[in-house]
Amino acid sequence: MTPIVTAFFDEATNTVSYVVQDPQGSACAIVDSVLDFDHASGRTSTASADEIIAFVRDKGLSVEWILESHVHADHLSAAPYLQQELGGRIGIGDKITVVQDTFGKVFNEGTEFQRDGSQFDALFKEGDSFHVGQLRGDVLHTPGHTPACLTYVIGDAAFVGDTLFMPDFGTARCDFPGGSSSMLYQSIQKILALPDETRIFVGHDYKAPGRDDYAWETTVGEQRALNVHIGKGRKIEDFVAMRDARDATLGMPRLILPSLQVNMRAGRMPPPDEKGDVFLKLPVNKL
């Protein structure tokens, strides 16, 4: 079955969010939403999420799932706000517990921060399935960028998060805690084993050199043939050497510190203090 996919691009973070509709009904899922965050002022806003809400209401859709491909390090998730406004269950990979344990220590969260994934409504593992109306969704565990990365295959569409980018841009970095270039290579092989005509929807786009427009939809066949990092049957040893050398030159994402603290809590802010004020931590020399 072919889902109806509508993309919402947030240029501030180069993130693509998706509404995935059952073509035979009103059910839908939202994949990788964005909560706007001004780093300088520490203020959030919901303009990006409100675009999705307006679309869902205008189309008369019913949200069944709010899906996260992983704990994003470059933008905050709007999942709780979308759930409040539209309903639906928030899902992520079950290896979120590994990410929570790692970054719970980085941010000195203490014992009150639960590291069991209980902030989410559903924890998916390899081979799990779910439904969006009459659409079946299947879960691939595709770690490498992070330990908890998932690819959601919904009908003929695969939502790969940050694992793959457009063929002219390549693949995800693997230098975050728990990342692994060899693991990413193996994960990408799972995706490339899908039928050639499977549509791939990426989580970000940065306009590769020589390309004037943003893009976010490709196919398995195009990735296998044309991806500049992994295409044409590139061997694992060559990929690992390339990926590790490239990652060594990359700086940290601008919003990594607020993003991790919020997203490991399913998009929720840390608990307020006794005055009702919310604070994010700024660990020094930890990442």
The pLDDT profile of the chain, 287 residues, written as one tens digit per residue, is 899 999 999 999 999 999 999 999 999 999 999 999 999 999 999 999 999 999 999 999 999 999 999 999 999 999 999 999 999 999 999 999 999 999 999 999 988 899 999 999 999 999 999 999 999 999 999 999 999 999 999 999 999 999 999 999 999 999 999 999 999 999 999 999 999 999 999 999 999 999 999 999 999 999 999 999 999 999 999 999 999 999 999 999 999 999 999 999 999 999 999 999 999 999 988 77
Q: What is the CATH number of domain 4-252?
A: 3.60.15.10
Q: How many C-beta atoms surround the C-beta of residue 53 within 10 A? A: 18
Q: Among residues 73, 64, 82, 66, which one has the least CA distance to residue 15?
A: 73
Closest CA to 16 of 151, 159, 192: 159
Tokens of 46: 């919901």
Distance of CA 261 to the CA centre of its chain: 15
pLDDT at 5: 98
Neighbour count for residue 112 (Cβ, 10 Å): 7
pLDDT at 34: 98
Length of the chain: 287
pTM of the full predicted structure? 0.96
Q: From CA 170, how far away is CA 223, in angstroms rounded? A: 9
Please give the single-letter amino acid code of residue 167. P
Q: What angle do CA 287, 39, 85 make, to 5 degrees?
A: 105
Tell me the one-letter amino acid at 45.
S
Write the CB contacts of 170 (distance below 8 Å, at least 6 apart in sequence): 227, 228, 229, 230
- Helix-then-strand count for the chain, H and E: 7, 14
Cα–Cα dist 261/131, whole Å = 30
CA-based torsion, 65, 71, 73, 78: positive or negative: positive
| Residue appearing with tokens 């994960």 | 187
How far, CA to CA in Å, does 227 sit from each of 69, 158, 163?
Answer: 21, 16, 12
Q: Residue 286 has what pLDDT?
A: 77
Secondary structure of residue 235 in the 3-state scheme: coil
The token duo for 178 is 């728990």
Q: What is the pLDDT of residue 49?
A: 98
Q: Report the pLDDT value the prediction gives residue 287, as an integer from 0 to 100.
A: 73
Collect all residues with Cβ–Cβ distance below 8 Å to 225 and sequence separation of at least 6: 167, 231, 232
